Amino acid sequence: MLEGTRIRLVAPRKEFLPTFTKWMNDREILQYLLMYKPMTLEVEEKWFDQMIKQEGTILFSILTRSSTEKEKLIGNVDIGIDHRNGVGSLGIIIGEKDYWGQGYGTEALRLLIAYAFDTLNLQKVEIEVFSSNPRALASYKKVGFIEEGLKRRRYYIRGEYVDAIQLGMLKEEFHD
Ligand SMILES: CC(C)(COP(=O)(O)OP(=O)(O)OC[C@H]1O[C@@H](n2cnc3c(N)ncnc32)[C@H](O)[C@@H]1OP(=O)(O)O)[C@@H](O)C(=O)NCCC(=O)NCCS
């Protein structure tokens, strides 16, 4: 649905759920997220059924696009929409770890942010990241997010407290 150079963002399909469940049980991935409970396919299915009915949340799955290879599901991006104030809260996960650090996350965020401003008519997007996640922070800054706040010692992750860094971007600050 949203076409990038190396990826496209599409509506998530039920057949993707076993892969989502695999990602949500991977402790290397979970250290960067708020989730901590073991995930089953049944719970994931319930979450999916509720999520697609919600007006205020939009989830896209990230597929690689290539003229030679089969497209591959590598992650998800989502946006929670505050219509009254015109603000979107973003989330991202590249669940296929072999694809980390190769620019896919940054490209997916650019597509989602363009959609937030040009299609949803939002005026601002926000994202939050743990201080223990320098890769995500670097990606967000590359896209144009600006640090707006720091919640000290906000989350307990893998035996230690981490800060929550809050970033934001206004519509006019986004350069596609
Ligand atoms: C965070 C995430 C979405 C970023 O996507 P990605 O495709 O891996 O990131 P990109 O390759 O686009 O950009 C990462 C940047 O961080 C840099 N980076 C990687 N490790 C780093 C480190 N330890 N310190 C500083 N910068 C680092 C990379 O060099 C790259 O910058 P560059 O292109 O200027 O070289 C992805 O890694 C992911 O899903 N991780 C697991 C879940 C997660 O953290 N989700 C976000 C929760 S807020």
What separation in angstroms does the CA of 162 have from each of 2, 140, 147? Answer: 34, 18, 16
pTM, rounded to two decimals? 0.97
58-108: pLDDT as tens digits? 999 999 998 888 999 999 999 999 999 999 999 999 999 999 999 999 999
- Ligand 1 centroid, distance to 84 Cα (angstroms): 32
- Residues having CB within 6 Å of any atom of ligand 1: 29, 32-33, 92-94, 100-106, 129, 133-136, 138-139, 142
CATH class of the domain whose range is 2-173: alpha beta
C-alpha span between 176 and 173 (Å, rounded): 10
